[in-house]
Amino acid sequence: MTRLDPGVDPRPVAASADAGAGPAAASAVAPAVAPRAFAPLALPPRPSRLWPTLWAILAGLVFLVAASGLKISWAELPALPGQVLHYLELMFASPNWEKLPRALFETWRSISMAWIGAILCVVISIPLGMLAANSVGPLWLRVILRGLFAVIRAVPEVIIALVLLTVTGLTPFTGALALGIAGIGTQGKWVYESVESVQDGAAEAVRAAGGTTAAVTRWALWPAVAPALLSFALYRFEINIRTSAVLGFVGAGGIGSMLSNYTNYRQWDTVGMLLIVVVIATMLMDAISGAIRRRIMNGRRA
């Protein structure tokens, strides 16, 4: 009988002895391992579609009520595309280019009106907008300025022009004032939102150095938001160019006045020429303004 050493485990010897017996013997010696039972995963509850469905139904009801109140003649809708094509043919089949010099002069008037309105808007809205920012102006001043911006945004440019007509008369200056005042609401909101989106690192550094609120605004906030504000100013100029044509319909001068007059007299060939001039001038000014905005935001490209 072989004496076993108490410090030696006999199980490795048995395993090595069975190693040459093949896979069948190994499987017989190895203990059977029961497969682990996994609990079924609980699926998340299906999101409720009640509120989206109710909102969709409410929007549909509002649309139906609005459509029923307009008294639309639905029987005339199939003939609408043919009528549009008829008037497009009257305007653009053979445009009347005899009034082109005057149209160019009135277009330049509209562009000048838009430019003066944009400058007036920017000069007023930038300081007021910065005072309306959370980190610059006091609470009572911010509430007043933001309320003023909201009121101005709620009034269309045409309504402002109609109010100014009683004071300044039927002149292009009326249109420039209307564009400048109407743009203060939107431009002022852009200014204080841009200031509030600036990182606090530079402002905190100026305050840590003993700077006042004016110093923080001048040396921390203004350098960070100046490119965006200049880009917004050019974008306001683009908007004013398109709006100035609409203001001409209420007597503010420019190319819109010519469009209104020749439309009333049903001179569609001249109206077509005016529309061509307006579209080309607007696209040209948009391209120039867009190039300047990209240069301001992205810098000079290699």
pLDDT confidence of residue 39: 65
The model's pLDDT over 209-258, given as tens digits with 9 standing for 90+, comes to 777 777 777 777 777 788 888 888 888 888 888 888 888 777 777 888 88
Asked if residue 4 has pLDDT above 50, the reply is: no
pLDDT confidence of residue 16: 46
Asked if residue 144 has pLDDT above 90, the reply is: yes
Cα(256)–Cα(250) distance, integer angstroms: 9
CATH topology of domain 94-298: MetI-like fold (1.10.3720)
pLDDT confidence of residue 233: 86
Q: Which amino acid is at 117?
A: G
The model's pLDDT over 8-58, given as tens digits with 9 standing for 90+, comes to 454 544 444 444 455 444 444 555 555 666 666 777 888 888 888 999 999
Q: Which of 4-8, 149-153, 203-207 has the highest mean pLDDT?
A: 149-153
pLDDT confidence of residue 146: 93
Helix, strand, or coil (residue 59): helix
- DSSP symbol at 46: P
pLDDT confidence of residue 75: 79
Give yes or no for a contact between 277 and 103, defined as CB atoms under 8 angstroms apart.
yes
Asked if residue 208 has pLDDT above 90, the reply is: no
Instruction: Calculate the average pLDDT of the chain.
Output: 81
Cα(116)–Cα(177) distance, integer angstroms: 8
